[in-house]
Amino acid sequence: MTERGKRFVERDTTNFKIGPSNLHWNGKSLEINIQERSLPFGQRVIGKVRVHPEQLFNYSVPLDQLGKHRWGPLAPTSRIEVEFSKPQLKWQGHAYLDSNEGDEPINRSFQEWDWARALLKDQSTAVVYDVREKNGTENLLALKFRHDGSVENFEIGKRYPLPPTLWRIKRNLRSDQTEPKVVQDLEDTPFYSRSILQGDWLGESKLLCMHETLNVPRFSSSVVQMMLPWKMPRIT
């Protein structure tokens, strides 16, 4: 919730500290200890998140033609435990953990992308990354991450437009047979949206997907850049 400079960051093979918060890998699960403050009133956020992977993956694939941006799930099918004292909050459920890295800012390569993931009946995880670059190139990834650690490509249907968000971001989802539906909007910002959708992949109808859309020109605009510190403070 706070961007911090390098003097607040420490990292080794099993620990990653960012200010008062930290992540620790104990050999079996990822423990995330959070001590933060939220905006706009500086409320304290204190709690612990534990991510228990069903299977770890060492997988990475480029998102752009030049290979300057890479993505890969670390634990696409996981179990999560969430317990906070401030605010009082406790729950368990299904989780997903991935990694993005790049050699340049995202606004040099990308125009927008739609990303979605879903837990399948066989407990594997399907991920669709639908990327549009600034030069007009489209890159589509449709991957299934199996319980045994294997990864396979799968065929996915056409791109369907979804209703725009309140901030008028255009979003899409690919689906095989039926037109996807918005079940619930979770996050709606001037450049980014996160939602729960219903689609049709790999022969499974009415499949619930976690979905995000990123509009890079919106993110890069001077107005949004001036707004960002009010949502995420910066300490250098």
Mean pLDDT by groups of 10 residues along the chain of 236 residues: 92 96 97 92 94 97 97 97 97 96 96 98 97 97 96 97 96 95 96 97 96 97 90 85
Smallest CA-to-CA distance from 109 within 87, 131, 92, 77 is with 131
Retrieve residue 23's tokens. Answer: 């992540």
Q: Parallel, antiparallel, or unpaired: how do β-strands 234-235 and 3-4 relate?
A: parallel
Place of tokens 């918060």: 21
Smallest CA-to-CA distance from 189 within 207, 168, 208 is with 168
Q: How many residues does the chain have?
A: 236
Retrieve residue 36's tokens. Answer: 């933060």
- What is the C-alpha to C-alpha distance for residues 77 and 118, in angstroms, rounded to an integer? 10
Report the amino acid identity of residue 100.
N
Supply the pLDDT for residue 87. Answer: 95
Instruction: Name the 3-class secondary structure at 233.
Output: coil
- What is the C-alpha to C-alpha distance for residues 80 and 47, in angstroms, rounded to an integer? 13
Cβ–Cβ under 8 Å, residues 1 and 228: no
Residue 75, Cβ neighbours under 10 Å: how many? Answer: 21
Supply the pLDDT for residue 222. Answer: 94
Chain-centre distance of CA 177, in angstroms?
A: 25
Q: What are phi and psi of 64, to 5 degrees?
A: -125, 165
State pLDDT tens for residues 107-147: 999 999 999 999 999 999 999 999 999 999 999 999 999 99
- What is the C-alpha to C-alpha distance for residues 37 and 33, in angstroms, rounded to an integer? 13
- What is the C-alpha to C-alpha distance for residues 133 and 139, in angstroms, rounded to an integer? 8
State pLDDT tens for residues 96-108: 999 999 999 999 9
20: enclosing H helix or E strand: none
Q: What is the pTM of this model?
A: 0.92
Where do the structural domains in the chain lie, given as residue ranges?
A: 3-235
